[in-house]
Each structure stands twice: as C-alpha cells, then as structure tokens.
Structure 1
Amino acid sequence: MDFGLTPEQDLVVDTVRAFVETELYPYEDEVERLDEVPAELAAQIRKKALDAGLYAPNMPEELGGGGLDPIALTLAERELGRASYALQMLVARPSNILQGCTGDQIDTYLLPTIRGERHDCLAMTEPGAGSDVRSMRTRAQRVDGDWVINGTKHFISHADTADYVILFATTGTERTARGERSRISAFLLDKQTPGFEVRRGSACVSHRGYHQCELTFTDCRIPAGQLLGEEGRGFELMGEWLGASRLTVAATSVGRGRRVLESAVRWAAEREQFGQPIGRFQGTGFKLADMATDLAAAELLTLSAAWKLSHGRMTDRDAAMAKLHASETLGRITDHAVQIFGGMGLMQETAVERHWRDARVERIWDGTSEIQRHIIARSLLRPHGA
C-alpha cells in the first residue's frame, strides 16, 4: 500500500479542512446551546458546500456528485468529523443505497438529493430490533397492487429534517439454512404520506442539534413503484450499498480524535503547575503519548480499509476492525483529555466535555462494538468450520 497521498487527495484534505474551520466551527457553540441548527444557517451551509463542490462527494460524478474515490472520500470524512455532527452532516453524503434507484425513482429521489433539493434518512432500527435487523416487525403487505405499511421505527437520525425515508420492512418469510427468516425489502417513502408520522425522540447526550426520531406507520399506503430494488432483497441491498457506512464512522472518529488530541497537547504545553508545563509530568505526558499512538493506529486501520475498498478488496472484517478501533480510541482519547484538562475538562467553556459526550454514541450506532467483534471473530473462525 502506498502511504503517500496524490496531489488531488491533498487538495481534498486542504479544501475540506478550510471549509470546516471557516464555515462550521464558528456555529458550534450556538448549535450546542439551542440543540438545533436554525433553518437559515442550515440553508447557508448547504449552499456554501454546494458552491464549493463539497456536496454529495460519495456520489458518482456522472450523476452530479463529487465522485471521490474511497480514499479521498475517507479523508474528506475525517476532516468533516472534526466539526459538530449536526453541522458537518449538512455537507450531505446521501445514502449510497440510493444508487439502487431505477426508472422514475432516479428523477424523483436520487438526482434531487444529489443536487441538495431533497434530503434522505435511513430507517432500519426498531424498539425490538437493533443489532438483529432480521427481527424487525414493521411490515409491508401487498393490497390491490399497492404496499400498505404498519409498524414503528426509532433512533432514526435526522428524520425531522429529511424529506423522505429509505425504509426497511418485512414483506414475508423465507426458508434458509438457519430456518425461517424474514424477507426484508426497501421502500422510498415521502414524509407527507398519509398514515406516516414523525416524532422527535428522547433527548440524547451526544451530538446536540442532530436529532433521533420515532417513525410510526399506520395503514400507510404507497404505490408499488416505491419499492427500492427487488422485493425480499433488501438485506442484500444493505450489504451492497451500506457496507462503507462503518468506514465513515471510523473516519469521523479519527478526525474528532485529532482535534481533541491537538487541544489536549496545547493545554498540556500551556498549563503550568509546580513551575512547569503539566505535559512534562509523566502522568500527563504518557497520556498524550498513548493518545497519539492509539490515534495513529486507528487512522492506519481506517485508511487501509479505504485502500482495500478502492481496489475492491475490503471485507466486512476490515470495516469492522476500523470502526471498532477508531470509535473505542476516540472514547479513550476524550476521556484522557478530560483528565488532562482537570476540572476545566467538564466545563462547557473548553468544549472538551462536548467531545467526551459526543464520542459515546460512536461505539453504538452503525453496529455496536460487540457486533463488530462478532463480525471479526466469525471471519476468523469460519475457515475452520466453527
């Protein structure tokens, strides 16, 4: 693997970093205080991202997206990860699964989303089906040629600001080697559809301004043409288009970890006790050393997975290892940073407490750390028939 970046990749890093520092950092305190991104601010950031050519970088260039290769995209995600999640997500990366759109779906959903005219969210998780996606109970049934949907989803990120939902629901059962399993299908569902309700979920300690919602479907009827992909192939569609989402979590965790480490190093160099900078004391200096080493390892795992993805070689284990190590590293780094800042680390004035709170969710969403370990262990045991 070539560890050097191309001039184009260097340009991506510099451009995104400058955008984050200029257009996102100044509004972080406001979003934290309001637990909201004002509509005018959201529109302003989206427009500037579009004007700068940073919008939809994960989508093919021929469709109007940025067309970044997996390594460049991972580097862009790393730089965006330095900023408040509610703000950096306005530099939208539409769900890759939209590339499964066909026919009228392309003009109604895919292309307007790439142009920033419409915004999507993904709905899989349910109160009784988190890591076990196959156990979801939201059901879509054929009625007179349409689909009628009933059920509930929760922990659906930014559904309150999305225009439509990419919904996963069961459409029957099938026999497998492991017994009878649910057939999962994907649908495109507009927010104004009768029988579909969106409610703001409980307040979360992580990522203020970026809300999770509850979705309820009560005899919600949609045309047959709203089916995304083939009926019963939603699980395969997830695997085909959503595998790289864990790489996104890894990359943004590395970016935020870099920002936290930089803050901790500055504090340790400037804060004096007993006549010298606290970074000179082993108790603090060794923490910084561990933080830097852990972060370098997380970044290498993440870029290695991105490199493999660019060559069509990334496996579920590669993505799981990157997501697991980067998210857990971020947790350790933010905890060490609080300790280095001491009492000030818990004060809103320094933002370290925000990074500490925000880091906690990374070990849960897009597959918990336990699920990532399961994926890794299974890949190790499978060749031995275990």
Structure 2
Amino acid sequence: MNFDHTEEQLRLIETAKRFVEEELYPYEEEVEKSGEVRAELRRQIIDRSLEIGLYAANMPEHLGGGGLDALSMCMLDRELGRANMALQYTVGRPSNILQACVGEQREKYLFPCIKGEKTDCLAMTEPGAGSDLRSMSCKAERDGDDFVINGTKHFISHADVADFVILFAATGVEPIIDKSRHRGPRKKITAFLVDMGTPGFMLRKGYDNVSHRGYHNCILEFDNCRLSSSQVLGEVDQGFEIANDWLGNTRLQVAAICLGRCDRAFELACEYAATRKQFNQTIGKFQGVGFKLADMELRRRAAQLITYQAAAKANANSNTNAAMSDMDAALAKLSATEALAFIADEAIQIYGGMGLMSDLPLERIWRDARVERIWEGTSEIQRLIISRSLLRPLENQ
C-alpha cells in the first residue's frame, strides 16, 4: 500500500503540529502538577480547535464534522497524541456511535457534540465485566414504555466533564444454541443516552491512577433510574453490534495516539544520544546505546505500517474484502501499544537518571504508556482476536 501523504494530509499534519506546540505543550506542566484542566483552558482549547477545523474532524461533513477519512484521522491523532492526554482529548472527537442518533436525538446529542457545545462519554466497563462485556450486570428492565436502570459502571473516562453518557446495559439473555461452546449466559445489550443529572443516576469520583493526569475516570451508579424509550440509541438488544463498530475505530485511535508518543520519546532519545558525551564521545556511538535506537526505530516503523494499513482498509467499502477487519484493528492496537511501552522504557534507559525527572516529558510518557495495553481491549484480548481470526478459516474447511 502507498502511504505517501497528499497535499491535504501534509497541511493537516502541519496544522496539528503547530496547534500542539502552541496550544497544548505550554499547559502540560500545569495539568501534570494540578491533575486538572481548568474549565477556562478547556473552553479555550475547544474554541481554538473549532476555529481551525480540528474539532469533530472524525464526523462526516454532511453532519457538520471535518469529514476526515480513517487514514487522515490517524495522522491527526498521531500529532495530537504527542501531548498530555487530558489536553489532547479536549480537541473533541465525538463518538462515532452517535451517528446512530435519529430524529430529536440528533438535535439534542449529535449536533451539539459536533459543534463543541456538549461532550459525551461511554459507559461499558463494570467492576465484574471488563474484557467480557457480555457478562455485564448493569441492567435495563422494561416498565411500560420506559426502561429502569440499575447497576454500576466504573473506569468511565472523562465522565466528570461530559454532558451525557452513552450507557450500555443488559436487556435480556440470548438463547443457548450450541451448549458445547457455551461458557455462560450471553446478555443482550442495549445502548441508552443518559443526561447528567437524571434522577437515579449518580456520578462519583473514580480511582487515583498513575496514568494520564488530568484525564479522570469516574464511577457511575444507577438506582432505579428511569429512561424513556426515546433515549434508546439504535435498536433494543442491538447495543453490542453498535459497540463492536465503535471498538474497531477506538482501537485504531489508540494505536495512532501511541504512535505520536513513540515519536516524541524517540526524538528525545535520538537528540540526547547525539549530544550527550561520555568517555570523550557522544553516547550514541556506543553500540549499547546505538543498537537501542535501532530497535526503537524498527518497532516504531512496524507499528506505523500496521496502523496505517488498517486505516487504509477502514477507508475501503465495508462490503469488500479490503475492508478493515477486527484482526486489523487488533494488530494495530497491539503493535503500537507494545512499541510505545518498549520505546518509552528504552528512552529513559538512554537518558539514565535524568529520564525519570519531571523536567522532561519522558517519565510521563512512560507512566501513560502502561494503561494503553489494558483499555479498549487488553493485549491478551487483541492476541485472542488475532489468533481466532487466523484459525477460524482453517477450522471451517
């Protein structure tokens, strides 16, 4: 595949690079120390990204978004990914799931998100349901034309700054067709749009964590929270299909963001190796350091090629054999997140003790890298998807 940048993509990269340097980098230290993105700063970043066309770049043009294709979005996310996560995320990317909105839902949720007037968050993970989403216990029971929600979600990112939640809850149990392959009840899942402040819905502070300072996780509790049927997103019992469509895109996004962090850590390591002197020569001339750089570049380029290939496939018509598969998205996330872990660690090794000092962004990149192999599907889940995709055609022969 040819990944030569078009003129439009080159302009996009330059715009994003300048935006990160001018609008995000100057506030990284503040956010890292305070653990917060001030409301005024958040609004400032939103307004500026709207002004230059970076906000909602993933949404179709006919809906008011930037209309970028998957490969161009990877290039944008790669540049934004160089910055602190809390700041980077403020450059809004409404969930693709919102394209399932219909009628009044579009006016209340979809269009305000695209205009930067509202922010969404997704609630899937539970204390007892992480990788196995089908086992979620948060349930929605019918009561006439309404649904009553009960249950708890946790690790819900940026819910503290969201205006509404895209909630996934169990609405039934699928019949068991093949008992020999059955591992337990498989829940039917439905997606709902839930406004903050809805009676019976409480948001609590989440857990303190080592990664992504300023980018908070929250706990959501639902106690007989009543929703009307107009708040169902998509079709009842079809939430898992919506979630699957979303997960492929988010895994690609995670991969692209990790590429940006790989770039920043790698560039810092190269610069240091080329200027730091020990024993009367720059340390990069020692094989112990130079070979580290070679291995870092090998992994960085491999992750880039795998991610860009998946994005190029995502641009293809979904009805063709060239379309992005679950395996393509899994390969992208797995390769990029593991490349980042390796590169961040080796960059600190090259810097020595200085690499762990907060004067440099390396220790932050290193801390932040750890969670990338867990959320949006652990590395083990990505390997499971890949291995099943490789073996399934042979098993069906």
Under TM normalisation by the shorter chain, which class is it? over 0.9
Map of 2:378 onto structure 1: 368
Contact kept? 1:268, 1:340, Cα under 8 Å: yes
Q: Deviations over 1:166-200 (max 9, x none)?
A: 00000111214355421100000001101111111
Which letter does structure 2 place at the counterpart of 1:153?
K
Map of 1:76 onto structure 2: 76
The separation in 1 between residues aligned to 2:5 and 2:362, in whole angstroms, is: 31
**Could you state the TM-score of these two structures normalised by the residue count of structure 2?**
0.96
Are positions 1:213 and 2:218 aligned together? yes
Which of residues 198, 202, 205 is equivalent to 1:197? 202
Q: Deviations over 1:66-94 (max 9, x none)?
A: 00011111110111111110001010111
Equivalences for residues 1-386 of structure 1 within 5 A: 1-178=1-178, 179=182, 180-312=185-317, 313-385=323-395
Which letter does structure 1 place at the counterpart of 2:162?
A
The separation in 1 between residues aligned to 2:32 and 2:48, in whole angstroms, is: 21
Which letter does structure 2 place at the counterpart of 1:80?
L
Q: Deviations over 1:308-346 (max 9, x none)?
A: 111131000001001001000000000001111101111
Counterpart secondary structure, 1:175: coil
Contact kept? 1:96, 1:242, Cα under 8 Å: no
The separation in 1 between residues aligned to 2:296 and 2:391, in whole angstroms, is: 31
Q: Percent identity, please.
A: 59
Contact kept? 1:97, 1:242, Cα under 8 Å: no
Structure 1 unaligned segments of length 5 or more: list them: none
Counterpart secondary structure, 1:58: coil
The separation in 1 between residues aligned to 2:22 and 2:269, in whole angstroms, is: 22
Counterpart secondary structure, 2:161: coil
The separation in 1 between residues aligned to 2:177 and 2:283, in whole angstroms, is: 60
The separation in 2 between residues aligned to 1:115 and 1:176, in whole angstroms, is: 44
The separation in 1 between residues aligned to 2:266 and 2:150, in whole angstroms, is: 47
Counterpart secondary structure, 2:159: coil
Deviation at 1:307? 0.5
The separation in 2 between residues aligned to 1:305 and 1:381, in whole angstroms, is: 20
Deviates more, 1:132-141 or 1:179-188: 179-188
Deviates more, 1:169-178 or 1:57-66: 169-178
Deviation at 1:229? 0.6
Q: Deviations over 1:190-223 (max 9, x none)?
A: 0110111111111111100000111000000111
Q: CA RMSD in A?
A: 1.0
Counterpart secondary structure, 1:198: strand
Counterpart secondary structure, 2:248: coil
**Could you state the TM-score of these two structures normalised by the residue count of structure 1?**
0.98
Which letter does structure 1 place at the counterpart of 2:77?
E
Which letter does structure 2 place at the counterpart of 1:340?
I
Q: Deviations over 1:93-143 (max 9, x none)?
A: 110000000111000000000000000000000000000000000000111
Deviation at 1:287? 0.5
The separation in 1 between residues aligned to 2:161 and 2:292, in whole angstroms, is: 40
Aligned residues between the structures:
386
The separation in 2 between residues aligned to 1:260 and 1:181, in whole angstroms, is: 42
The separation in 2 between residues aligned to 1:117 and 1:3, in whole angstroms, is: 35
The separation in 1 between residues aligned to 2:144 and 2:134, in whole angstroms, is: 26
Which letter does structure 2 place at the counterpart of 1:203?
D
The separation in 1 between residues aligned to 2:2 and 2:283, in whole angstroms, is: 38
Structure 2 unaligned segments of length 5 or more: list them: 318-322
The separation in 2 between residues aligned to 1:12 and 1:3, in whole angstroms, is: 15
Contact kept? 1:123, 1:156, Cα under 8 Å: yes
The separation in 2 between residues aligned to 1:124 and 1:241, in whole angstroms, is: 12
Which letter does structure 1 place at the counterpart of 2:149?
I
Which letter does structure 1 place at the counterpart of 2:349?
Q
